Amino acid sequence: MGRGLLSELAAFRFDEAGLKQDSLRTKWLEEHQRKLLNLRSTLEEINDRFQKLGDNIDERIQSEQYLSVVRKAFRAWDQADTDEKRRFIANLITNAAGTRICSDDILRLFLDWLETYHETHFAVIKEIYKNPGSTRYDIWSEIYGDLPREDSAEADLYKMLVTDLSIGHVIRQERDVNQLGQFIRRRSARVRRGVGPQTFKSAFDDTEHYVLTELGKQFVHYTMNEVVSRLADPQAAVHNSET
């Protein structure tokens, strides 16, 4: 009797393990089926947009330089964990065929950015693109609304986002430039003795204004604009890297 019960328990545990494996296998297959359907839809969309660009892109999309970008793009697409990132990658593939404002090396850098940055980074980029010269206060208010405490996790995260994008040369503080495009130094404000600020600069500072760098503008051009017109003047285009 005891042995029979033990055998039944062992069989039940074995069957339970098998059911869990079957369930995981089913979920894995469902996920990959969903991804394949998504890929098919993406390829059809890219093909439709290629058709609208005309025959002038044929030489470009058959070049090894462009195909190397496409291979890297689809590796990034496969690893992307959100539909938004996949859409940005699809935009880059299409726009890279129809316009030439930067080298293919820069396009590969943009793919690295898409893999590295999070959707919260992209929200900050889009807000600065829509409203150049926005302060940290402006950006937060437009995206999230009410301000949290300075010592909150939200404030820490926001400072990290702005720092990441600044270090990555995607955004920068607005500065005056001279005729040669050189940034002009600002004169630091003098602080009277004993009258210095009593608190650190706020995560939601409303005095310093932010803009996209030129590289950041190109990133938006290739990844976040659904339709990008080709450059009319071929002399203005940046030639692709031969490396």
Q: What's the predicted TM-score (pTM) here? A: 0.71
> Which of 34-38, 80-84, 136-140 is the least confident region?
34-38
Contact 241, 105 (CB under 8 A): yes
Range list for CATH 1.10.10.10 in the chain: 119-187+200-220
Q: Which residues pair with 183 in a beta bridge?
A: 177
Q: For position 240, what pLDDT does the model report?
A: 40
Architecture of domain 119-187+200-220: Orthogonal Bundle (1.10)
Q: How do residues 13-61 score in pLDDT, each as one tens digit?
A: 556 555 555 666 666 566 656 666 666 777 777 777 777 777 777 888 8
Buried b / exposed e along 169-186 (16+ C-beta atoms within 10 A): ebbbeeeeeeeeeeeeee
Q: How do residues 177-217 score in pLDDT, each as one tens digit?
A: 777 666 667 766 555 555 555 556 888 988 899 999 999 99
Q: For position 242, what pLDDT does the model report?
A: 39
Q: Token pair of 37, please?
A: 């359907």
Q: How far is CA 169 from CA 8, 24, 162, 212, 231, in A?
A: 64, 42, 11, 8, 25
d(CA 39, CA 34): 9
Dihedral angle sign, alpha carbons of residues 114, 120, 121, 127:
positive
The three-state secondary structure class of 188 is coil
Q: For position 13, what pLDDT does the model report?
A: 57
